[in-house]
Amino acid sequence: MEIIIQPNAAAAARLAARLLAGVIRKNPDAVLGLATGGTTLPLYGELAAMKLDWRKITTFNLDEYVGIPPQHPQSYHSFMRENLFRHINIAAKKTNIPDGLAGDIPAWCERYEKKIRAAGGIDVQLLGIGADGHIGFNEQTSSLASRTRIKTLTPQTRKDNARFFGSEDQVPHHVITMGIGTILDARHCVLLAFGKNKARAIAEAVEGPVTSMNPASVLQLHPKVTVFLDEAAAAKLKLKDYYRWVFDNKPDWQKI
């Protein structure tokens, strides 16, 4: 796992955008796994400003709320449209987001998995992290082998996301999310975390035991993970001076 600590979220997002831009330039047909949430906003802002060619890029989003239509202002369809897709030249038919109104959810989830496989798998999967360590909407105690499926949000996650909905009772209880097994199939995972609210989850995910009580800790089993942090999110890492030294002394060929 590569841990990159930057002075603030803007600097970390700029570097993460540079990594993704490099992938898109090198492989114009790349398949990207996308995330939503406040953490992704500075990254999508950077990417939108970069004038990259997205025409042949395929995207698969991690998750969506169940029971709200794509036009709902808090749906992840709306989030992606507003914060990334309408600013870039991506083909709408190449963007994939779970359908929160799917009638037969298990069948829909199976088709999503098949579609990811048919696209050749995910080259780079973007991830945020919940204060409890969730990735996608794989809440604590999610199976570490799980595939795309319906999940029930914890009271904490619904509280955390109430800020987007206005009040907690408007936050849906259910979501469709890629599973942890689905995420682990991506060839490169890129996790972003900013702010002191994420410090404990990050310390446990990077330096704690692999446990479904912190689903992000499973990334320790993945061969290629890059974690972009601001100082506040890195605050509880025991080896942060080591991570900093490694980053500052990277050979040129490894630089982002």
Distance from C-alpha of 256 to C-alpha of 254, rounded to nearest angstrom: 7
Q: Is 139 a catalytic residue?
A: yes
Nearer to ligand PGA, 38 or 181 (CB): 38
Q: Are 254 and 29 in contact (CB under 8 A)?
A: no
Helices 76-83 and 40-49 cross at an angle (nearest 10°) of 40
- The answer to the question of residue 70 lying near ligand PGA (CB under 6 A) is no
Catalytic: which of 132, 160, 185, 231?
A: 132
Residue 197 CB, nearest distance to ligand PGA (Å)? 8
State the nearest-atom distance from the C-beta of 206 to ligand PGA, in Å.
16
Query: Could you say which of 64, 113, 139, 160 is catalytic?
Result: 139
Contact 233, 200 (CB under 8 A): no
CB 228 → ligand PGA: shortest distance, Å?
Answer: 12
Q: Residue 176 and residue 136: Cα distance in Å, rounded?
A: 9
- Check binding of 129 to ligand PGA (CB under 6 A): yes
In the complex, least distance from residue 73 CB atom to ligand PGA, rounded to whole angstroms: 16
Catalytic site includes residue 169: no
Q: Report the residue from 33, 98, 100, 130 that binds ligand PGA according to the rule CB under 6 A.
A: 130
Q: Which residue among 64, 77, 99, 134 is the active-site one?
A: 134
Q: How far apart are CA 239 and CA 244, in angstroms?
A: 9
Assess 128 for contact with ligand PGA (CB under 6 A): yes
* 132 tagged catalytic: yes
> C-beta of 56: minimal distance to ligand PGA in Å?
28
Q: Do 18 and 256 touch, CB atoms closer than 8 A?
A: yes
Q: Are 180 and 218 in contact (CB under 8 A)?
A: yes
Q: DSSP string of 185-237? A: TSSEEEEEE-SGGGHHHHHHHHHS--BTTBGGGGGGGSS-EEEEEEHHHHTT-
Of residues 27-46, which lie at the interface with ligand PGA (CB under 6 A)? 37-39
Instruction: Give the residue among 218, 39, 239 at the shortest CA–CA distance from 138.
Output: 218
Region binding ligand PGA by CB under 6 A among candidate stretches 2-10, 108-116, 124-132, 147-155: 124-132
Site residues for ligand PGA per CB under 6 A: 37-39, 128-130
